[in-house]
Amino acid sequence: MAETRKRTTAQHPLVESAELQAVVRGSHENPFGVFGLHEVGGGLVIRTFQPGAVSVELVEAASGKVLTALERLDEAGFFAARVPRKKAPFAYRLLVDWGGGEPPREIEDPYRFGTVLGEMDVYLLAEGRHLRLFEQLGAHPAEMDGVPGTRFAVWAPNARRASVVGPFNNWDGRRHPMRKRIECGCFELFIPHLQKGELYKYELVGPQGEMLPLKADPVGFRAEHPPANASVVHGLVRHEWHDGDWLERRARAQSREAPISIYEVHLGSWMRVPEEGNRYLSYTELAERLVAYVKEMGFTHIELMPVSEYPFDGSWGYQPVGLFAPTIRHGTPEEFAGFVDACHAAGVGVLVDWVPGHFPTDAHGLANFDGTALYEHMDPRKGFHQDWNTAIYNYGRSEVANFLHANALFWLEKFHIDGIRVDAVASMLYLDYSRKAGEWEPNIHGGNENLEAIAFLKRLNELVYGEHPGATSIAEESTAWPAVSRPVYLGGLGFGFKWNMGWMHDTLHYMKEEPIHRRYHQHNLTFGLLYAFSENFVLPISHDEVVHGKGSLLGRMPGDRWQRFANLRAYLGFMWTHPGKKLVFMGAEFGQEREWNYEGSLDWHLLDDPLHKGAQLFVRDLNQLYRSTPALFELDCEPHGFEWIDAADTEQSVLSYLRKGTEPGSVVVVVCNFTPVVRQGYRIGVPAPGQWAEVLNSDAERYGGGGVGTGPEVTAEATPWHGRPHSIHLTLPPLATVAYALRP
């Protein structure tokens, strides 16, 4: 019996023919079942696949002794050998001779290392509840068994095979196939001595055995500069933060009761370096120039158009592929972290546009990732956006929702951003968004609400506010969906703020009218007050209003050149004194003449012109007034912070109103004259006697105006007007907004 067993062992092949052929074809689905050390027939066998190698020898790591030479079993590069009787497992290396006159080189065998993902990680990933999945998925420089290298993990549950490919293995997917963790649908592999900075992608074989396009890492932390699109081994950002003081006070700085004035920026076109080929500014340069500018202008926040890596410049970042990678266009993740730190040192908050509503169908991206509709909804009625030719996430799949939730938390935690502005919320909320009859399917209740997306958004906001106190979220939502900015526990979607798109459209429509016609359109300025306190609103003049033939903000204003600038200042004065937080897109603050062009810099040379310089100075002073005057911000979101004085003077196109703070006597009177006519002796009812000081006049000479006005202060008279016991007598400048505050 013993002799029979010995003979069987000796005759057992080093590898089954079918397995060898599967390795050579790249179709083997269990690489750890064939490569590395294995007990075969009572003995040890070592196998490896080294295409192009002349010879391979097995070396004991502890002693450096060559144990045996491996036999080439296939010309493609499959080597195997029996190992002299030795207890397994043990640490070993492979001595590979690549020929060409170079000496043989010792390498570590990836297939001698254990699993990458821990049991708890596997459990949470399978459940779709791993909020820190970015610590496990992706490419992380690490050590295993004392050996440096990079560990990889990717979610691709329906793929037959997944391999890490790159220049380090000649993009050959047969060289580094990954272990499949069936429990959670992830593939994993530790590649020894693979260093930070290496290019890589994933080569996937789909469920039908089809070879898929090479995929960038969905949880990659750095990417090649577009149009190249490989991922880059980097790991989580490492930055020594110095913003503890800011983080302690940011909850107050971002509350409903705080002054919030946001400067929206596209980093690629705010300013360029024309003398160096019109290149982008780096994050380091932006940390110096942009932060200093925003601080000087008095804005409280910068809002960045998407900075997640994206392939096409013309998408402005709104079609991202690398959700965990700051775009390399301006520098490394560490340099982006330095930019955020610099903002915080200057007392400026950082908001980032975040895009969970859709993603592009680029071959290297998430679409059809493992040969199936993995990230996108399978049903095109819910999974394809017809307007943008993009895929829509499957919010009802727990792993997909978890991927997005973890991504939002990633930016808040690893880059200390202060909030996310969620793009295109309306497209997520409605099943029939931009769809005709028959192109959408009602929910289980027969309605058009996307119940899965609603649940996703509510959970998102619970996580943002629960995991990162002091952070905020803002919805770009253009419909009358109720309670967008109310807490989830009160039945809302849970956002901190909502863009007031209706106010923006109505008021810009009004400003485009010739002043002689504005008397017929005053409702466009007043209608917004009917719902102004139903949400925590941000008044947005965003990038969407200065593209696609709409012209610049200044370009919308009627009249001759002087009147256009006067209209611009009057409108911004109205905006800054209106209830709601403020947002303007870069360039509006100095009256950019032309429409925004993402391929070039703003026209900073315009500041040599006194009218443009005056507009910039006016916005700076508006921010100073806004931030220093509680009546203009404390009750932005409360109806008792606003009161009309006269909204009905349509014949003269004049509006007047009160803004009030929480303290007695904290009150500001605002009057807007939207005609080019000086209004002499214009009487306004005021709530208190005493001296009323002029705190704002958009027609001041320093701004390029005519210098018309009542004077530095005016005394209230005991003349009842507008239902109030006192009134003030004003001279209203043409096309101007003026404001008066009660002296203590």
- The kind and range of the H/E element at 269 are none
- What confidence score (pLDDT) does residue 9 get? 35
CATH architecture, domain defined by 259-499: Alpha-Beta Barrel (3.20)
- Dist CA 582 CA 589 (whole Å): 12
Domain covering 639-742, topology: Immunoglobulin-like (2.60.40)
Count other Cβ atoms within 10 Å, centred on residue 380.
14
Tokens describing residue 662 = 């929480």
Strand pairing category for 497-499 and 472-475: parallel
- Dist CA 360 CA 427 (whole Å): 15
In the beta sheet, which residues pair with residue 154?
A: 187
Do residues 70 and 37 make contact, with C-beta atoms less than 8 angstroms apart?
A: no
308 to 318, 357, 399, 536, 657: CA distances (angstroms): 9, 14, 20, 27, 42
HSE of 45 in the Cβ direction (CA atoms, 13 Å)? 21
* Omega within 30 of 0 (cis) for the link into 207: no
Q: What pTM was estimated for this model as a whole?
A: 0.95
Strand pairing category for 419-422 and 349-354: parallel
SS3 of the chain: helix, strand, coil, percent, to 5:
30, 25, 45
- Dist CA 423 CA 128 (whole Å): 23
Those residues whose C-beta lies under 8 Å from the C-beta of residue 156, and which sit 6 or more positions away, are 162, 185, 186, 187, 202, 204, 369, 370, 374
Task: Please name the residue that has the structure tokens 């037959």.
Answer: 160
Tokens describing residue 627 = 């931030």
- What confidence score (pLDDT) does residue 61 get? 92
Closest C-alpha among 476, 429, 431 to residue 453: 429
CATH architecture, domain defined by 119-232: Sandwich (2.60)
Domain boundaries, the chain: 2-112, 119-232, 259-499, 639-742
Task: Please name the residue that has the structure tokens 């912070």.
Answer: 641
Give residue-wise pLDDT tens across range 446-487. Answer: 999 999 999 999 999 999 999 999 999 999 999 999 999 999
Domain 2-112 belongs in CATH node 2.60.40.10: yes
Q: Which residues of 432-444 are buried (b: 16+ CB within 10 A; e: fewer)?
A: bbebeeeebeeee
Do residues 319 and 645 make contact, with C-beta atoms less than 8 angstroms apart?
A: no
Instruction: Examine domains 119-232 and 639-742 and report if their fold is the same.
Output: yes
* Amino acid sitting at position 629: T
| Cα–Cα–Cα angle for 367, 369, 374, rounded to 5 degrees | 85
Residues annotated catalytic, as ranges: 423, 476
- Dist CA 426 CA 448 (whole Å): 12
- What confidence score (pLDDT) does residue 605 get? 97
* Amino acid sitting at position 87: K
- What confidence score (pLDDT) does residue 620 get? 98
Closest C-alpha among 153, 156, 152, 162 to residue 28: 162
- What confidence score (pLDDT) does residue 12 get? 57
- What confidence score (pLDDT) does residue 426 get? 96
In the beta sheet, which residues pair with residue 141?
A: 150
Count other Cβ atoms within 10 Å, centred on residue 82.
18
pLDDT-flagged residues of the chain (< 70): 1-12
